[in-house]
């Protein structure tokens, strides 16, 4: 059973032409947090709400991404996946931010934000690129 990969990765639907072999690489190195181009749910600020939508795991193929949970809303993390997130406003840590996939109320005033996101995989299935620190 491939439990650490049970949730897989997502991509936008696409059409393939017959007679052509599309080049697809899934879970290609290096798997890390990023905001894939064309993501349907981008990170944005809407008024006093910062909508963080940064997948913890993306691969080397544009558009491929996954999160630590299966989208069940329970925050379950597959065995071997460890994720932590810290949001800073003008250098001060913002309380209550534990994920890069949540809505955060923010003050009306213009300010600088930084998100630190750490991921690690300690499952035997992962041989390289088993941890990342991204800001």
Domain that holds residue 52: 30-134
Element (H, E) at 57: strand 57-58
Q: What pLDDT is recorded for position 130?
A: 77
Residue 9 lies in a domain: no
DSSP secondary structure code for residue 95 in this structure:
T
Residue 70 lies in a domain: yes
Instruction: Say how many domains are in the chain.
Output: 1
Percent of the chain surpassing pLDDT 70? 68
Percent of the chain surpassing pLDDT 90? 22
What pLDDT, in 10s, does the model give residues 88-97? 999 999 988 9
Picking from 29-33, 107-111, 128-132, which range would have the lowest pLDDT averaged per residue?
29-33
Residue 16 lies in a domain: no
What pLDDT, in 10s, does the model give residues 53-79? 888 877 777 777 777 754 444 444 455
Sign of CA dihedral 86, 96, 122, 53: negative
Q: Is 123 buried (19+), middle (13-18) or exposed (0-12) by CB count in 10 A?
A: middle
Predicted TM-score (pTM) of this structure: 0.68
Number of alpha helices (DSSP H) and beta strands (DSSP E) in the chain = 0, 9
CA distance 56 to 64: 11
Joined tokens for residue 91: 């250098």
Rounded to 5 degrees, φ, ψ at 113 are: -120, 145
Q: What pLDDT is recorded for position 26?
A: 65
């Amino acid at each position: 059973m491939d439990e650490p990969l049970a949730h897989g990765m997502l991509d936008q639907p696409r059409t393939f032409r017959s007679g052509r072999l599309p080049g697809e690489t899934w879970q290609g190195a290096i798997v890390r947090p990023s905001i894939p181009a064309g993501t349907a749910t981008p990170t944005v600020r809407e008024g006093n709400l910062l909508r963080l939508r940064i997948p913890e795991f993306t691969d080397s193929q544009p558009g491929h991404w996954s999160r630590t949970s299966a989208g069940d809303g329970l925050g379950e993390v597959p065995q071997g996946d460890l994720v932590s997130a810290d949001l800073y406003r003008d250098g001060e840590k913002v309380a209550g931010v534990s994920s890069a996939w949540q809505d955060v109320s923010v003050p009306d005033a213009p300010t600088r934000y930084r998100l630190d996101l750490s991921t690690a995989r300690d499952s035997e299935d992962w041989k390289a690129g088993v941890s990342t620190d991204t800001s």
